[in-house]
Structure 1
Amino acid sequence: MKYEAVIFDLDGVLCHTDHYHYKAWHKIAMDLELHFDEDLNNRLRGVGRTESLEIILEANGKEMSPEEKNYYTNEKNNHYQAMLESMTPDDIDPDVIKTLTAISNLSIKTAIGSSSKNAKLIMEKAALNRYFDAISDGTNITKPKPDPEVFLKASEFLGVKPDNCLVVEDAKAGLLAGKNANMDSAAIGSAVHFGLATYNLEKLSDLLQYLE
């Protein structure tokens, strides 16, 4: 078997909370009287909160002190977490459950590799914990994607060498992180257009053909 482990990004791959991110950032932008739309939101995919705020500020020709950035990124996270409270297992696509169940039957290890500090909350709300052997997220890394740290930590937690891991991502930053970690990758969603992945998936269960 070529791969001993699969490391999944969370948001946009296993669940879709993009609309929560958009609403949270939109509220912050409105409070600051800044322009914010779907196109700008798409630039924030796979990017940490501070860098996301910097992208929004740059797009509006604005600057902010480190203290202000810290305040508004925390406010954004508070809005986002409040929205996550309404999340349930029913929000997970059946194809995701089908895929994770099949992988567990193949005795392949699985991990989450997410820059989000909310990953564990999302996993709990979506009842996904039982499918995973490890979680590497924003609480155990210092460098966001495209730095490979989050994926290297995941492989370390699993006890699997990086070149025996496959990363599944929906964002350019994540695919670059996988590449920087010396891992093969599978792209899903809009990430298939970047030409960075080893495999391109129309749906998550397409992944299974590369694991069996």
Structure 2
Amino acid sequence: MAQFAAIKGFVFDLDGVITDTSIFHSQAWHQVADKVGVKWDDDLADALKGISRMDSLNLILARDHKEDAFSDAEKAALATEKNDNYLKLVNQMTPANILPGIQVFLDDLKAQGYLLSLASASKNSPLVLKHLGLGDYFTKSVDPASLKHGKPDPEIFRRGAEILDLDPAQCIGVEDAAAGVQSINGAGETSIGIGDPKVLAAADINFTDTTQLTLANIEKAMTDATLA
């Protein structure tokens, strides 16, 4: 883990960190699972967190060994249908959907001169940020369409540091999913996991919810780890 004084930038995931659209994703994927005859449950919903649209669809189909039951064109149509259902829900979002403490944290980061970028697998992140009123905070955003590998591969978080012109060691990555934490660690950044510490045991720092995400708490955690 880096020294706190070395940190110059923060690379954020979107879902579960800045806002919670996971329920919208789950509702939309649930509709797809019902359509293809795959049983939906909490384990499947959790497995889809933080991964790309097509990877999510393939996971759903693999649940009942249906990976080869649909052509590429049919899979693309299912993914598009999911996205259309999801967008109907996203378009109802407002700044009230920003998770607790995040607006204050982002304001503090900007005031203290930290650089910010977004590392979300969602192609809809610009639309979500617009509805939340946070577009001006994340003028630097990784284009998921430009990536060769999805999380847990480190590519997206490595790119999140690159677009800030920072070394990964100068960045903190913030995630709520185990695959995302693995991606941050692989990129060589300090990882913060938001959520269940058992699920996110690989994170350098763990906070159970977004209200704990403050510079003071991060500095204390990094200092304590250095002294340990």
Q: Is TM (by shorter chain) over 0.5?
A: yes
- CA pair 13-6 structure 1, distance change in 2 beyond 3 A: same
Instruction: Output one character per residue of 1:95-127: Cα deviation in whole Å (capped at 9) or x when no partner.
Output: 111111111121111111111111111111111
Equivalent residue for 2:194, pick from 185, 188, 198: 188
Query: Alignment partner of 1:110: what SS?
Result: strand
Letter in 1 for 2:163: F
- CA pair 120-139 structure 1, distance change in 2 beyond 3 A: farther
Aligned to 1:21: 25
The Cα shift of 1:192 comes to 5.3
The answer as to 2:137 corresponding to 1:131 is yes
1:114-125 equivalences in 2 (<5 Å): 114-125=120-131
Instruction: Output one character per residue of 1:51-104: Cα deviation in whole Å (capped at 9) or x when no partner.
Output: 111111111222332222212111111111121111111111341111111111
What is the distance in 1 between the residues matched to 2:73 and 2:100? Answer: 43
How many residue pairs get matched?
212
% identity of equivalent residues: 33
The answer as to 2:53 corresponding to 1:49 is yes
Aligned to 1:60: 64
What is the distance in 1 between the residues matched to 2:173 and 2:134? Answer: 18
Aligned to 2:184: 178
The Cα shift of 1:137 comes to 3.6
Aligned to 1:30: 34
Instruction: Output one character per residue of 1:5-44: Cα deviation in whole Å (capped at 9) or x when no partner.
Output: 0101001111001111011011111222221122211111
Q: Structure 2 unaligned segments of length 5 or more: list them.
A: 221-228
What is the distance in 2 between the residues matched to 1:169 and 1:207? Answer: 15
TM-score, normalization by structure 1? 0.93
Query: Alignment partner of 2:193: what SS?
Result: strand
The answer as to 2:206 corresponding to 1:200 is yes
Query: Alignment partner of 1:97: what SS?
Result: helix
Equivalent residue for 2:110, pick from 83, 104, 117: 104
Instruction: Output one character per residue of 1:123-143: Cα deviation in whole Å (capped at 9) or x when no partner.
Output: 111111222341114233232
The Cα shift of 1:168 comes to 0.4
1:53-92 equivalences in 2 (<5 Å): 53-63=57-67, 64-92=70-98
Aligned to 1:12: 16
Q: Structure 1 unaligned segments of length 5 or more: list them.
A: none
Q: CA RMSD in A?
A: 1.7
Query: Alignment partner of 2:145: what SS?
Result: coil
Query: Alignment partner of 1:122: what SS?
Result: helix
What is the distance in 1 between the residues matched to 2:103 and 2:79? Answer: 32
